[in-house]
Amino acid sequence: MTTEQTYETVDMMLNMGPQHPATHGVFRMVLTVDGEHVVDVTPHIGYLHRGSEKLAENETYGQVITLFDRLDYVANLNNELIFCRAAERLMGIDPPERGQYIRVILAELNRLASHLLFIGTYAIDLGAMTPIMYGFRERERIQNLFESVTGARMMHNFIRIGGVKEDVPPDFVPRVRALADDVQRGVEEIDRLLTFNEVFLARTRGVGVIDVPTALSCGLTGPGLRASGVAYDVRKDYPHEVYPYLSYKVPVGENGDCWDRYYMRVLECYESLSMVRQCLDQMEEGPVMAQMRRIARPPKGEVYVHGENPRGDIGVFLVSDGTDKPYRVKVRPPSFCNLVALRPMMRDAYIADAVAILGSLDIVLGEVDR
Amino acid sequence: MTEQQPPEEQAAPRPAAHRGPPVEVAAEVLDAQGERTAGALRLALRDMAIESGGRDDVPWVRVARENLTRAVDSCVRSPNLRVDMLHCLFAVDYEERIELNYALFSLGKGHKALLKVDLPPDEARADSLTGVWEAAAWYERETHDLFGVEFDGNPDLSPLILFEGFEGHPGLRSFPLHDYEEW
Amino acid sequence: MRSKPVQLAIAVVLLVGVGVLVAVFTLALALLGEPGDDVTVLTVGKIVIALFALLTLVTTLGMSLVWLERKQLGRMQGRVGPTRVGPFGLLQVVADGIKLLMKEDVSPGSSSKAIFYVAPLLVFVPSFVVWLTIPIGRDLVVRSLDLGVFFFIAVSVLSIVGLILAGWSSNSKYAILGGFRSAAQLVSYEIPLILGVLSVVMVADSMRFTDIVDAQASVPYLALLPLAFAVFFISGLAEVGRTPFDIYFAESEVVGGPFVEYSGAHWAIFFLAEYVNTFLVAALGALLFLGGWTWPFGELEQYPAVALFLGKTYFLAVVIFWVRATLPRLRIDQLMNVGWKMLIPLGFVSVILVAVQRFYGWPTWTLTLMSVAVLGAAAFVQLRLQRSDAVATAERYAQHAVAVQPSRSRPAPESQQA
């Protein structure tokens, strides 16, 4: 008697993360793969959940800023800015103009640093080793400037409710000008090396395409949404701070693929540099902090403020009960919402594409998990 | 050392105080854009609106829990509002009620609005919006994690940012900040 | 930090050391008998000594590539590479090797232990065995086989088995994916590699490496067969898994592929095999296309000839590392497209061109002309068209970006009013 065994092929579950080098932190996605084809993807998050929102309810307004530093730890100043703007709206404060200029300069430089990091890590996701070194080199210049202005390289706690902590160092303007020229050269160098590289084009063009209705339905914002063809930029559509004084371009893509998402960020690097230069031209001497009580105690009420982070549209919903601690702080983290778009993008993807698509979303897990 | 020393002539005299003049505290009012949005909201929601208000360019409208899907639907369909994005979902625990805030954005028309729904804390249950926006799935899972709100119609309310088996809902005010056991 | 003279002295000693290795290898070869000798303990001993000298030489040359790659990549990326151990960081490789040997050798509990531990050897042994017939100088070869090129191809294919077994026996999903990838990749790229080599063999009328090199004494085959060289070099990159074909151990995708579960000495063997293979491809390129130890300006003494050959080899290695510093990684389907739709047809075209030229007895420069024409057309179609589309798209994005003008006017700064 012969024993007959029947064999059937099953899809393989491939667990990517939380210790996978291409998941940018402690992100985990479970890929169902059929050979090299990705059939389905299930993202799992929460490995870095620190309860920032709960913690914020037990800190004073000034202390909450430090928690925001640690959300998107690649673009700290943008995060500080959005919380301070929310608290200021609640209190009805407008920071002095010089303070606003300093905020915008720092925020745009931080956006630049974040995009440089993205370009480098994205290249390394795709197997190119060199751009990350160039990216870090340029980011290092920006970090050095931040260190001389805020005293810290990453967790600045510099933007405060009502302005900024203190005035910039006396050599700030010439230094930033020199820095902008250096970084411009660096970005151009990376751009020349990577953007039109044939292998890079082959890996990113037409990969991870997302159309506008799906992108909107998933809540995709920032460069990802603009790559799909929606000219939505908070700085443009709901101008705040000194953005109305600046002239700049909002790059908009057409195809919504990985290459578009990458190239939007490259173009934004140039725009950020241009904005920084304009701010330096316009900035005048003056106070940097609004006159207000030392301890912020906003009146009872609630406010929803959103702003353009490097990764997308960050929102802060702030409820005050009239005490010196916020009653509720809720962040709309752009990376969290962009991750929802991961699944629609993964249609017809290969395993290698999964890495390319995840990289093009540019997530920061500190913000996803809070 | 790569940092060059500051040039001498840059050391301009600084203003004595770095703090500006005192500021007026603005009242909680809508600006022009907010008024336009509020008008469009009124047209879209009609009698479903229980209460309304707002600050700056973000008006809010409170609707009854039963009307949530209908209200969202009319906001999406309304020609003046044309909401196309669920920007976020916030839950606030006011102890006597849990308030859900749906941030509805219309990128095409430039409208931003909050849709509020009050839930009783003992029966925190609302209709899911997953049929309207894919993004709602994760927002609702997160809200379910942190506030214990049940969303009828959400196919998967498994823990998203908490680990499996975590007991309690840390977003609630009643959840202690310090004295719970680490796993 | 040691003083400069000491560092230079160590560097000189290391350089001399390579020379000494070559000399030992020469002596060992002199000890070696003829193939017809009786097999005695003495002849076996001689063979063991010769093989040991060869192993040491090959290992040293492979390790030198590790240093070269780290240093070169460092310089290309605005870093300095290793500097601390030894002069110019030359001994860093040795330090790393010692560290790896001293590490605990961990294997997954569910792996097939026997296969798991044999697999590294199955990868390393073929890449070593082919050196039996690869000459590093006119007479510096263990056995100059009539079918040397054939032997090389037949043996080097065997390392695929080791990679697949390593991937399978690890009982890890990433490893098995990497194993599958390596099987698909290496088998596919054997064909264009063989076709590239075949063109050379047809022109040289011999499969013996020394004959092929001697035939290039006046004109290296690179000038005659640029098409065959391109096919050979690209598929050679794929054969040894260098960027942009480092797909089977792609760190950001399958986290090291077949090697993911290996550690310590077994991983070191994989690592060494990779660099020995890289050196092998560079050496083959130098032998088959760059004229090996010959140059057009007359005949060289033995040691200068070896230095010339090593120089050509290192030059090709530098090109390989340069490619690594520049290019991202291909995807598996694109890899297959490049192999089956581009390299194999081009390889056949190259073989046909040589056949036609040989059959009709056309002058050799016609071969160059035809090769360049085909290569240029292929490069244009493959590279230029895609790129021009992307460039046009990028220009459109830059032009169509939504320009935002200042919506509020700002009072002119006081300094300008004054």
Per-residue pLDDT tens for B93-134? 888 888 889 988 888 888 888 888 888 888 888 888 888 888
**With a CB-CB cutoff of 8 Å, which residues 62-91 of chain C face chain A?**
73, 76-79
Distance from CA of A341 to the nearest CA of B (A): 8
pLDDT in tens, C111-140: 788 888 888 888 888 888 888 888 887 777
pLDDT at A1: 53
Q: Does C394 touch chain A (CB under 8 A)?
A: yes
For residue B136, the distance in angstroms to the closest alpha carbon of chain A comes to: 8
Q: What is the pLDDT of residue C42?
A: 73
Sign of the CA dihedral running C42, C44, C47, C53: negative
> For residue C328, which residues of chain A lie inside 8 Å, CB to CB?
123, 126-128, 194, 197, 199-200, 203
A161 to chain B, closest Cα gap in Å: 12
Distance between CA C328 and CA A262 in Å, rounded?
A: 14
Mean pLDDT of A38-48: 87
Chain A residue with minimum CA distance to C390: A196
Q: Does the pLDDT value for residue B16 go beyond 70? A: no
Range of the domain at A29: 12-369
* CATH code of the domain containing A207: 1.10.645.10
Contact A284 C413 (CB under 8 A): yes
Is position C312 within any domain? yes
Quick check: A169 contacting B, CB < 8 Å?
Answer: yes
pLDDT of residue B11: 46
Q: Are residues C69 and C34 in the same domain?
A: yes
Q: Are A355 and A346 in contact (CB under 8 A)?
A: no
Residues of B in contact with A285 (CB under 8 A): 12, 14-15
**CA distances from residue B13 to A129, A173, B9, B17, C118 in whole angstroms, order as listed:** 47, 15, 11, 12, 75
Do the domain assignments include residue C404?
no
Residues C138, C199 share a domain: yes
State which H helix or E strand residue A330 sits in. strand A326-332
Binding-face residues of A in 241-260 toward C, CB within 8 A: 244-255, 259-260
Going by pLDDT thresholds of 50, 70 and 90, the confidence category of residue C32 is: low
The mean pLDDT of chain A is 87
pLDDT tens track for B147-165: 888 888 888 888 888 888 8
Domain boundaries, given as residue ranges, for chain B: 28-129
- The parent domain of residue C96 ranges over 1-102
Q: What is the pLDDT of residue C411?
A: 57
Which residues between 23 and 52 in chain B have a beta carbon less than 8 angstroms from any beta carbon of chain A?
A: 23-28
Q: Is A165 on the interface with B (CB under 8 A)?
A: no
Task: Answer whether C329 sits within 8 Å of A236, measured CB to CB.
Answer: no
Q: What pLDDT score was predicted for residue C318?
A: 92
In the numeric block, the tokens 């669920």 are attached to B86
DSSP states of B39-71 as a string?
HHHHHHHGGGEEEEEEEBTEEEEEE-GGGHHHH
Cβ neighbours for A13, distance < 8 A, ≥ 6 positions apart: A30, A31, A32, A33
A 34-63 → C contacts, CB under 8 A: 35-36
What ipTM does the predicted assembly reach? 0.84
Mean pLDDT (whole number) for A365-370: 85
| Cβ(A346)–Cβ(A354) below 8 Å | yes
Residue contact B56–A290, C-beta within 8 A: no
**Has residue C39 got a pLDDT over 80?**
no
Q: Are residues C189 and C292 in the same domain?
A: yes
Task: Answer yes or no: is A194 within a domain.
Answer: yes
Distance (Å) from the alpha carbon of A249 to chain C's nearest alpha carbon: 4
Beta bridge partners of A332: A315
- What's the pLDDT tens digit per position in C146-158? 888 888 888 888 8
Looking at the DSSP bridge assignments, the partners of residue A313 are A308
Q: How confident is the model at residue B10 (pLDDT cuts 50, 70, 90)?
A: very low
C-alpha to C-alpha distances, C222 to B153, C104, C392, nearest whole angstrom: 69, 47, 35
pLDDT value of residue C410: 64
* Chain C residues 304-343 within an 8 A CB cutoff of chain A: 324-334
**pLDDT value for A113:** 92
Cross-chain residue pair A370–B159, CB shorter than 8 Å: no
Q: Is residue A5 part of a domain?
A: no
Asked if C30 and C117 sit in the same domain, the reply is: no
pLDDT above 70: percentage of residues in chain A? 99
Same domain, C140 and C50: no
Mean pLDDT of C248-256: 80
Cα dihedral B120/B177/B141/B132 (nearest 10): 60
Q: Is A124 on the interface with C (CB under 8 A)?
A: yes
Per-residue pLDDT at A324 exceeds 70:
yes
* Confidence (pLDDT) at C418: 41
Mean per-residue pLDDT, A302-327: 87
In a domain, C377, yes or no: yes
Q: Is residue A7 part of a domain?
A: no
Identify which of B22, B92, B161 has the shortest CB distance to residue A49: B161
pLDDT of B20 > 60? The answer is: no
Mutation pick from B116, B138, B146, B180 vs chain A, by most beta carbons of A within 10 Å, is B138
Residue that terminates a domain, selected from C54, C83, C102? C102
Select from C76, C102, C128 the last residue of a domain. C102
B-chain residues within 8 Å CB-CB of A317?
88, 90, 101, 103
Residue C35: what pLDDT?
A: 62
Nearest by CB to residue A21, choosing from C252, C394, C400, is C252
Q: Does B95 touch chain A (CB under 8 A)?
A: no
Enumerate the residues of chain B whose CB falls inside 8 A of the CB of residue A175.
Answer: 6
HSE of A93 in the Cβ direction (CA atoms, 13 Å)?
Answer: 29
Kindly determine whether residue A93 and residue B134, on different chains, have CB atoms separated by under 8 Å.
no
Shortest distance between the Cα of A244 and any Cα of chain C, in A, equals 5
B149 to chain A, any CB pair closer than 8 A? The answer is no
Backbone angles phi, psi at A196, to 5 degrees: -105, 20
On whether both C129 and C96 belong to a single domain, the answer is no
Mean pLDDT of chain C: 83
> How far is Cα C332 from Cα A349, in angstroms, rounded to an integer?
12
**In the CATH hierarchy, which fold is given to the domain comprising B28-129?**
Beta Polymerase; domain 2 (3.30.460)
Search chain C and give the residue with CA nearest A232.
C402
Q: What is the pLDDT of residues B60-75, one digit of tens each?
A: 888 888 888 888 888 8
Contact C387 A199 (CB under 8 A): no
How many independent structural domains does chain C possess? 2
**Which chains touch B (3+ CB pairs under 8 A)?**
A
Structural domain count, chain A: 1
Lowest-confidence segment of A77-91, A166-180, C123-137 by average pLDDT: C123-137
> How close, in Å, is residue C395 to chain A by CA atoms?
11
What stretch of H or E contains B112? strand B111-119
